[in-house]
Structure 1
Amino acid sequence: MLWEQDSNGHDIQIQLPHIRLSGRLWGEEGKPLLLALHGWLDNANSFEPLSTYLNEFQVLAIDWPGHGYSEHHRGHYPLHWVDYIFDLDMLMTYLADKQAPIAILGHSLGGIVASAYAAAFPDKAKKLILIEALAPIFEPVTESKARLRKSFRSYQRYLAAQDKPLSVYDSFQVVINARHKLTGLDLPWCELLTKRNMEVNGTGVSWRSDPRLRLDSPTRLNFEQVDALMQGHPCPTLLITGSEGYKQLQTALPTAKKWFQDLSTIHLSGDHHLHMGNARGVADAINAFLL
């Protein structure tokens, strides 16, 4: 067995050298494996709607550290998105000796990490499917001083609040409704995501997610760094964007076509979470790309 698995075959645990990851697994054993990486503040449940239509594959969706049921990165130091590239490399090394994925499927943050990983280690990723994601986020170098100051101030407030009790909400529904109101994501998807990121706490519920996820990173790459990383990207890649998704992705397409040697694009109906709201359409695009 490649991982510890519960009785219904859906929830899994993977012990890596530095951290324990949790996740979800769908599909019949022996079928080609897709590794699915979720977005910021989501979890493995975000791929449940999509898995219904990917019947030719096993879909392994992990919870990033600090999300869902996975362990948190140790300590109380600032987090950075590059941490996830290391986590992914450890996971891919683990899977290489067992059942290497035929493709990495990443949404939002998961797609950014997967794209950067494949650019840096082109021999380790066979194909990429990016949903509402393209490359690492960058900003002008002139922002670096203000970002560092803002980040450290936020972490100082976080450390000062370590002894305070967790916020407890009356029920899951309170938080589900709050996410729906804040993001506009449909209620069924808010429920699917929220429940895996929370736990029962006495008579109510509280977040199990790492609170550091909501704090600013101390540094961010500039365009020159991203451009150098992404140039000559050799991995065959499918980019899926939503009609109501991030408009910046459409603006960035001319640059992306200079980076990727083999880039296919498809624009579908849906918002930033179109792999949930338009799971059938996204699955059809993935099946056509892979099969």
Structure 2
Amino acid sequence: MRHAWDGENEVEIQLPHIRLSGRRWGSSDKPLLLALHGWLDNANSFEPLARLLPQFQILAIDWPGHGYSDHRPGLYPLHWIDYLYDLELLINKLKEENVLEGIIGHSLGGIVAAAYTAAFPERVEKLILLEAISPLYESASKNNLRLRNSFASHLRMLNKSSKSPAIYDSIELAVKARARLTGLDESWCRLIVDRNMQQEGAGVSWRSDPRLKLDSPFRLSFEQVDALMTDHGTDTLLITAESGYKQINSLLPKAELWFNQLSCVQLAGDHHLHMGNASGVADSILAFMSEGKKMG
């Protein structure tokens, strides 16, 4: 891993199967929290929160296909479960040099962290979930249609792969489009979009893997997720947003049954509340990390 352990730095982490990039805030004498971002986001999404947690060193990675990290090789469909293997090898790497105090996972990052700690509770002492509870699931009756739709979308991508990528005059069009789609403040959209785009001559193009936007070929059933998440043993803080995803709130009764050690906090904000309400999220994390017992 290339790093300088003081201040704020870009990092590269070479895993056995792929190279990850990321950002790190804080010095090496502080407890380490690993931050895992959401779908189509990147390490920059944790900048507002990291600056409010000087008590820790925060390592935010770019998932494969996001930010500056490598794309997964080939043109085959992506599977969410591959992120669990990334996380396993990343934790192995980090534990060679650091004591990992916990994981912060937002959205997709929280889904991956929740599933991973369900299977390996001894690997992570504390888990902080932001707008995420469990892997997504759907009825097994949708398997055939999902598989057909996924292959069709990937074949369309293959037919377009020989064409040059779209080039834009600047990132501002993408920033405004994301702000309209998500309702997230343009300044936060710009922070995320900037890391997901690259210079192309006088313009810019998307750096992120186009496969991320295509249908997955398979999704777990509720029975599978229920079996995975039952008796989840890691000490967990779940932070939801008042204007967040409604599906998250609908899962709260299940979360109370799944997690053996669960603290729940709801804060003002939307799905990206760790950016728009970073101070509230930071306060909740500090209380959880210091007390280690149920709040609210």
- What TM-score bracket applies, with the shorter chain setting the length? over 0.9
Q: Which residue of 1 aligns with 2:67?
A: 68
Q: Cα deviations across residues 213-238 of structure 1 (Å, max 9, x unaligned)?
A: 00011000000000000010000000
Q: Which residue of 2 aligns with 1:200?
A: 199
1:159-238 matches, cutoff 5 A = 159-238=158-237
Structure 1 pair 129–8 and aligned structure 2 pair: CA distance change class (3 A) = closer
Gaps of 5+ in 2: 291-296
Structure 1 pair 188–57 and aligned structure 2 pair: CA distance change class (3 A) = same
Superposition deviation, residue 10 in structure 1 = 1.4
Whether contact under 8 Å (2:6, 2:27) holds in the other structure is: no
Superposition deviation, residue 3 in structure 1 = 3.2
Structure 2 CA distance for aligned equivalents of residues 277 and 253 of structure 1: 23
Structure 1 CA distance for aligned equivalents of residues 56 and 5 of structure 2: 20
Q: Cα deviations across residues 182-212 of structure 1 (Å, max 9, x unaligned)?
A: 2211000010000000001011100000000
Superposition deviation, residue 242 in structure 1 = 0.3
Q: Which residue of 2 aligns with 1:111?
A: 110
Secondary structure of 1:272's aligned partner: coil
Q: In structure 1, what residue type is equivalent to 2:255?
A: A
Q: Cα deviations across residues 128-158 of structure 1 (Å, max 9, x unaligned)?
A: 0000000000000011000000000000011
Superposition deviation, residue 8 in structure 1 = 6.8
Q: In structure 2, what residue type is equivalent to 1:179?
A: R
Structure 2 CA distance for aligned equivalents of residues 161 and 59 of structure 1: 39
Superposition deviation, residue 9 in structure 1 = 4.1
Q: Cα deviations across residues 62-92 of structure 1 (Å, max 9, x unaligned)?
A: 0000000000011111001101011001101
Q: In structure 2, what residue type is equivalent to 1:233?
A: H
Whether contact under 8 Å (2:199, 2:205) holds in the other structure is: yes
Structure 1 CA distance for aligned equivalents of residues 7 and 237 of structure 2: 32
Q: In structure 2, what residue type is equivalent to 1:277?
A: G
TM-score after normalising by structure 2: 0.96
Q: Which residue of 2 aligns with 1:59?
A: 58
Structure 2 CA distance for aligned equivalents of residues 160 and 14 of structure 1: 33
Deviates more, 1:40-49 or 1:171-180: 171-180
Superposition deviation, residue 4 in structure 1 = 3.5
Q: Which residue of 1 aligns with 2:10?
A: 11
Q: Which residue of 1 aligns with 2:250?
A: 251
Q: In structure 1, what residue type is equivalent to 2:149?
A: K
Aligned: 1:140 with 2:139: yes
Q: In structure 2, what residue type is equivalent to 1:213?
A: L
Structure 1 pair 8–288 and aligned structure 2 pair: CA distance change class (3 A) = closer
Structure 1 pair 103–139 and aligned structure 2 pair: CA distance change class (3 A) = same
Q: In structure 2, what residue type is equivalent to 1:153?
A: A
Structure 1 pair 13–39 and aligned structure 2 pair: CA distance change class (3 A) = same
Structure 2 CA distance for aligned equivalents of residues 21 and 141 of structure 1: 34
Structure 1 CA distance for aligned equivalents of residues 6 and 97 of structure 2: 21
Q: Cα deviations across residues 106-136 of structure 1 (Å, max 9, x unaligned)?
A: 0000000000000011111111000000000
Whether contact under 8 Å (2:37, 2:106) holds in the other structure is: yes
Deviates more, 1:241-250 or 1:144-153: 241-250
Superposition deviation, residue 100 in structure 1 = 3.0
Q: In structure 1, what residue type is equivalent to 2:18?
A: I
Q: Which residue of 2 aligns with 1:158?
A: 157
Structure 1 pair 116–8 and aligned structure 2 pair: CA distance change class (3 A) = same
Q: Which residue of 2 aligns with 1:129?
A: 128
Secondary structure of 2:286's aligned partner: helix
Whether contact under 8 Å (1:129, 1:238) holds in the other structure is: yes
Q: In structure 2, what residue type is equivalent to 1:51?
A: A
Structure 1 pair 231–7 and aligned structure 2 pair: CA distance change class (3 A) = closer
Superposition deviation, residue 26 in structure 1 = 0.3
Gaps of 5+ in 1: none
Whether contact under 8 Å (2:6, 2:26) holds in the other structure is: no
The alignment of Structure 1 onto Structure 2 pairs a total of residues equal to 290
Q: Cα deviations across residues 29-58 of structure 1 (Å, max 9, x unaligned)?
A: 210000000000000000000011111100
TM-score after normalising by structure 1: 0.97
In percent, how many aligned pairs have the same letter? Answer: 58
Whether contact under 8 Å (1:6, 1:12) holds in the other structure is: no
Q: Which residue of 1 aligns with 2:24?
A: 25
Q: Which residue of 1 aligns with 2:293?
A: none
